[in-house]
Every structure is written in structure tokens, then in C-alpha cells.
């Protein structure tokens, strides 16, 4: 299959990236990060999650984050909701798009959302129906598509069946999440092939963590299968709080650098993205976890020195 000419990237750093931070990130910093990412050219930036603040305290101010964005910015900033209550809170804060999520692994579903896969689908159905009535788009996430920290390897046909269920419920796109980063180019190709038999390829996205250093290879494999939408996180922030050792979202800077090298358009200004990565990492007091981001920032500093 021919690779796409244009790829849509969703930066999940303000949600999936920051949810794992050990200390509270001020609301104004989150808003500034979102604005910088939108300014860099991202058409979609995940802004937060309306989940239990006891379980994910870093997301407790998601409503305030949305309210501080302009209407045009909020239009491009989906938020994660686990159930109808989360949806109602998100709508009250001005959300114009939401994301729902389910795990392919029964054990992970119980650990992550305290419910079975069947119950999670019932919750998602309720959210989708209410969101559609409110004129709000719904995106679907599937976690543990390549492997589970509790159950090991996952059957691609199980992923395909659950992806088809989300598609039938009205999710306009289903993001296939390798939550613990165990996928390889071969396994991801087989996975995408299985899912694409049940869901149109243009309704699929890739969400690959880089735990084993395979995320870029997996993106390349998915591109070759025809996927043209991917999730990434500025500066490589984040991971899953319920999968030990699975930190390592693929860095947005690395993905854009890869796609630029392939001649695939994204609409994203890489220099502005590097600035956004340095901004949030300075606020967090940590290093940028992006090879391209670090290299490009170092090169700019070198060239800016007198006599360079």
C-alpha cells in the first residue's frame, strides 16, 4: 500500500504526558503548552481528562484548562471521558470533542477502570449516544493492543473485534494503543491488517509507546499499511499510570523529524515544536526525552554562539 502524503498528528502531551507527573503542573502552564502546540501547527491537541481526581490528580483541573482556551482552540482540543458523568462535566466546560477508551485485556480493564470489557462498552455506548445528541465528536482509544502487562500477548482478532464495536458505536476514529510498547514492526503490521478487515483504514490511528525503542519503526510499519493518523507526545512526556515501567510515549519531535525525512506533510513547524518541548520540560525541571528535540536544540544553541 502507498504511504500517505499527509499525516495528522495528535499531541497527547497535555493529557497522556502530564498525567504521570509526580507534582502538580499549574493550570496556566498546561494552557500555555496547549497554545504553543496549536501554534506549532498541530490540528489536534488532547487537553485533559475528566476522570476521578483521586485516581489521576494531575487531571483535576481539566475543566479550568478548557475554560481558559478560546472557543477556536477548544474546538481542536479533545478530552478523555470514562463515563456519562465525565461527559457531562466535559460538556459543561465547553468540550467540543471527547475520547473514550477500552482495554483489549480483561485484566487491564479491571485494573484501569474497575470494570469488565463488556461493562466498558456499555459505558462507551452511553457516552457516544449522549455526545452525538449534543453534536460532539467521539474518538475511541484501545489500550494494550500489542500486549498486556498482566496477560502477555494479545490476539489481533480480539483487537479487531473491539475496534469494530467502537466504530459501530459511532467513534469517528479508533486509536490503537500499544500501552506498554512491546510491539514490533512485524506484530504491528499483522495487527493493522487484522483490524483493517473490520474497520476502514482511514478510521484507524496509531498510538505507540517507545518502551523498547520500537515506536518509530512501528509508525513506519503502520504508514506502509495505510494509516495516516498518529498520536505522539511533546518531548516524549508520559506513559500509563497503570502499567509499571511503560513510560515512554513516542516524542512528537522524533515523529515529525521522521515524517519530514519521508517527505510526508504534517503542517507542523518542527522548530516551534522544539520550543514547546523545551518550555514544558523547563517548567517540569526535567530533560527533553526526544532525540530529535535535544539534537535540534543543541544545534541551534551552537549556531547562535558568536563566531559559529
- Known active-site residue 240: yes
> Measured between alpha carbons, how far is 188 from 236 in angstroms, rounded to an integer?
20
Which DSSP string corresponds to 243-308? STT---BPBHHHHHHHHHHHT-B----HHHHHHHHHHHHHHHT-----HHHHHHHHHHHHHHSTT-
Cα separation of 90 and 85, whole Å?
Answer: 9
CB 37 within 8 A of CB 234: yes
Partners of 142 in beta bridges: 102, 176
- Of the candidates 77, 128, 144, 240, the residue annotated as catalytic is 240
Q: Compute φ and ψ for 138, nearest 5 degrees.
A: -125, 130
d(CA 230, CA 238): 16
Catalytic residues: 240
Amino acid at each position: 500500500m502507498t504511504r500517505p502524503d499527509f499525516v495528522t498528528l495528535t499531541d497527547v502531551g497535555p493529557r497522556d504526558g502530564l498525567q504521570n507527573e509526580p507534582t502538580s503542573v499549574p493550570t496556566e502552564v498546561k494552557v500555555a503548552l496547549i497554545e504553543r502546540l496549536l501554534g506549532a501547527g498541530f490540528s489536534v491537541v488532547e487537553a485533559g481528562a475528566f476522570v476521578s481526581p483521586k485516581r489521576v490528580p494531575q487531571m483535576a483541573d481539566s475543566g479550568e484548562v478548557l475554560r481558559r482556551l478560546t472557543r477556536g482552540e477548544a474546538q481542536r482540543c479533545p478530552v478523555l471521558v470514562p463515563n456519562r458523568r465525565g461527559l457531562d462535566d466535559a460538556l459543561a466546560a465547553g468540550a467540543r470533542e471527547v475520547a473514550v477508551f477500552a482495554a483489549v485485556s480483561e485484566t487491564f480493564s479491571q485494573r484501569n477502570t474497575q470494570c469488565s470489557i463488556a461493562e466498558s462498552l456499555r459505558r462507551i455506548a452511553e457516552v457516544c449516544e449522549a455526545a452525538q445528541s449534543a453534536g460532539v465528536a467521539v474518538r475511541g482509544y484501545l489500550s494494550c493492543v500489542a500486549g498486556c502487562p498482566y496477560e502477555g500477548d494479545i490476539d489481533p482478532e480480539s483487537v479487531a473485534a473491539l475496534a469494530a464495536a467502537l466504530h459501530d458505536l459511532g467513534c469517528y476514529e479508533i486509536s490503537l494503543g500499544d500501552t506498554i510498547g512491546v510491539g514490533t514492526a512485524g506484530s504491528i503490521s499483522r495487527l493493522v491488517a487484522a483490524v483493517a478487515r473490520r474497520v476502514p483504514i482511514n478510521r484507524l490511528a496509531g498510538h505507540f509507546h517507545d518502551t523498547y525503542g520500537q515506536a518509530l519503526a512501528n509508525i513506519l510499519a503502520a504508514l506502509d499499511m495505510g494509516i495516516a493518523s498518529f498520536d505522539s507526545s511533546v518531548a516524549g512526556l508520559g506513559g500509563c499510570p497503570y502499567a509499571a515501567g511503560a513510560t515512554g510515549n513516542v516524542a512528537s519531535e522524533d515523529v515529525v523529524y521522521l515524517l519530514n525525512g519521508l517527505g510526508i506533510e504534517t503542517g507542523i513547524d518542527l522548530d516551534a515544536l522544539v520550543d514547546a518541548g523545551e518550555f514544558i520540560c523547563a517548567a517540569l525541571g526535567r530533560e527533553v526525552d526526544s532525540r530529535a528535540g535535544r539534537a535540534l536544540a543543541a544545534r541551534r544553541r551552537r549556531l547562535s554562539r558568536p563566531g559559529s
